[in-house]
Amino acid sequence: MKRTVFLIDMESFYVSIEKSFYPESRGKPTVVSGDPKRRSGVILAACPIAKKYGIQTAERLWEAQQKCSDLIIIKPKMETYMKVSVHITDILYRFTDLVEPYSIDEQFVDVTGCLHAYESVDALAEMIQETILAETGVFARIGIGDNKLLAKMACDRFAKKRKEGRFTLRKEDVPVHMWPLPIRSLFGVSTRMERHFHNMAIRTIGHLAQSPLERLKKKWGIPGHVLWLSANGHDDSPLAELTADGEAKGIGHAMTLPRDYDSFTEIKVILLELCEEVASRARQSKQLGETIQVFARGANYEQPFSFLRQRPLPQPSHYSLDLYEVAVSLFQQFWSGQPIRQIGVTLTKLSSDRARQLSLFEVDTGRKEQIGRTMDTINNKFGKASIIRAVSMTAAGQAKERAKKIGGHYK
C-alpha cells in the first residue's frame, strides 16, 4: 500500500489565535512581537495582511513599523499557544494514532491506515482542516505526500500558496513540481550549502537530482547522498513515536541575556540558574547525566566569539551543584573575557537514575537527592521559582523573570 503522510501547518499560528481575543485586529495588519526593551523586539508571527506590506517573521519590530505605520502589535502569550498546539494534537489523534509534532505549529500525521474510512485523501484533509478551524479558529495548510519530505515540500512550496491550503506531491510528480524549484527550496539546504551548489553549477533541485551521486558523495559523504535522495523524492524516515520514556540525547537550557554580561561573578549566577533548570528536568525524567556541555556566545557581532565545550562529571548526577561546579570550571577555562550575550548548559550521556554505581567517596548522595526533590516539589506546587538560590535575587539573577515565561516569551 502506498504510504500517505500529511504535514499540517497552522497559518500565522500566533496571530490567528490572538485575533480571536482582539476583534479590533481583524482585517488589519497585525503581528505578534516580543518586547523591544528586552532585546526580543522581533516579529514572531505576521498575519497575511501584514505580510502584504513586506513584513516577515524574524525581522526587527522597528523595521516592520517603518513598512506599516498603523501596525497592530500584540505581545506573545506562549502558554496559550502551547495549549492550542496540544489541542490540535488531540484533534489529530481522532483521525490516526501516528502523530509527530514537528514544531509548535507543524505536525506530521501518517494516515495510510485510516484512508479506507474516507471518500478520498483530499476529503480527509479537508475534514481535518474544518475540525481544527471550528475548534481553535486557526486555518491549517496541509501538504500531502508519500513520505515526510514530500509532505513538507508540498506544504511549504505549494499548499501555502493555494486558497484551499492543500497540495499533493507524489514521487511520480517530483520531476514536474520539485525539480524546477531553486536549490535553496529543497528541505535541508542551508544558505552556505546553496553557495556550494552554485559553485558546482547546481542551481535547481532537478540539477541536484540528475547529478552523479558519486560526485556528491566524494565532496560531502553521507550528507551529500541524503540531499541527492531528497532531490529525487526519497525519504524512508518513520514518524517519531511520542512516548513517556523518550530517548533524549541530552537535557539542556540556554538563554539570551537581557544585557551584556562581562563580570564572571554575574555569569556564575546565570550558570547556577541554568544548572538548576537542567538538573530539575533531569530529575523529573528520572535520568542522570555523565557529561556537562557549556555554550557561550559573545555580544560583539563585528568580532564574533563563541565556544561549546564539554567535560565529564566526577560521577553521573542530576544534582544542580554537581553540574554547576564543572560548568563554572569549564566556562572559566574557555572564556576570553569578552561580554556574553547567550549562554547555555546541557547534560548529556543520560542513563536511568533507577540504578546507579555507588561511590566509596560520595557519602551525601541521599541528602543531595532529597534536597533536589524537595525543591522540585515546592516549585511544582507553588509555582516555578517559589524557592530559588539567594544569588538569584541579585541584579544578575534571571530566575524569577524566566519563571514568568515559556520559550523565552511571557506566558
Same domain, 75 and 222: no
Quick one: 119 and 140 in the same domain?
yes
86: how many CB neighbours lie within 10 A of its CB? 12
The structure's pTM equals 0.66
Mind telling me the catalytic residues? 106
- Contact (CB, 8 A) for 37 and 410: no
In this prediction, residue 89 carries a pLDDT of: 92
353 known member of a binding site: no
Examine residue 238 and state whether it is found in any structural domain, yes or no. no
**pLDDT for position 182:** 96
Q: Of 169, 200, 218, which residue constitutes the final position of a domain? A: 169
Q: How many domains does the chain have?
A: 3
CA distances for 59 relative to 34, 44, 190, 282, angstroms: 11, 8, 19, 35
Round to whole Å and give the CA distance between 248 and 270.
24
Check which CATH number belongs to the domain holding 399 and give it.
3.30.1490.100
β-strand pairing of 106-110 with 5-10: antiparallel
105 carries a ligand binding annotation: yes
**Does 96 share its domain with 152?**
yes
Reduced to 3 states (helix: H, G, I; strand: E, B; else coil), residue 95 is: coil
- The percent of the chain in helix, strand and coil, each rounded to the nearest 5, is 45, 25, 35
266 and 404 share a domain?
yes
Q: Are residues 119 and 225 in the same domain?
A: no
In a domain, 220, yes or no: yes
CATH number, domain at 181?
Answer: 1.10.150.20
C-alpha cell belonging to residue 325: 561546579
**Res 41: pLDDT:** 76
For the chain, the straight-line distance linking the first and the last C-alpha, in angstroms and rounded, comes to 45
Cα–Cα distance, 155 to 148 (Å, whole number): 11
The identity of residue 170, as a single letter, is: R
Predicted local confidence at residue 359, as pLDDT: 55
Domain membership of residue 245 (yes or no) is no
Residues 156 and 182 in one domain: no
Do 187 and 334 belong to one domain? no
Which of the 8 DSSP states describes residue 141? E
Does any domain span residue 378? yes
Residue where a domain terminates, one of 138, 169, 200:
169
pLDDT at residue 242 in the model: 46
Beta bridge partners of 110: 5
Are 293 and 249 contacting, i.e. CB atoms less than 8 angstroms apart? no
Q: Are residues 157 and 96 in the same domain?
A: yes
Helix (H, G, I), strand (E, B) or coil at 140: strand
Domain that holds residue 397: 250-410
Residues 200 and 77 grouped into a single domain = no
Instruction: Report yes or no on 401 lying in a domain.
Output: yes
Q: Is residue 218 part of a domain?
A: yes
Paired strand residues for 32:
45, 74
Q: Which of residues 169, 194, 220 is at a domain's end?
A: 169
CB contact at 8 A, 134 and 88: no
Q: Which triple of cell numbers denotes residue 272? A: 547556577
Same domain, 307 and 355: yes
Q: In angstroms, what CA-CA distances link 70 with 15, 50, 52, 53, 67?
A: 16, 10, 14, 11, 9
Residue 378 and residue 313 in one domain: yes
User: Which residues, 6+ apart, have CB-to-CB distance to 383 below 8 Å?
Assistant: 403
Give me the CATH number covering residue 110.
3.30.70.270
Asked whether residue 237 is domain-assigned, the answer is no
Residue 46 lies in a domain: yes
State the DSSP string of 237-298.
PPPPP--TT---SEEEEEEEEEEEE--HHHHHHHHHHHHHHHHHHHHHTTEEEEEEEEEEEE
**Axis-axis angle for helices 365-382, 264-284 (nearest 10):** 90
Q: Is there a single domain that holds both residue 84 and residue 211?
A: no
Which segments in the chain show pLDDT lower than 70?
1, 35-40, 240-249, 300-304, 355-366, 400-411
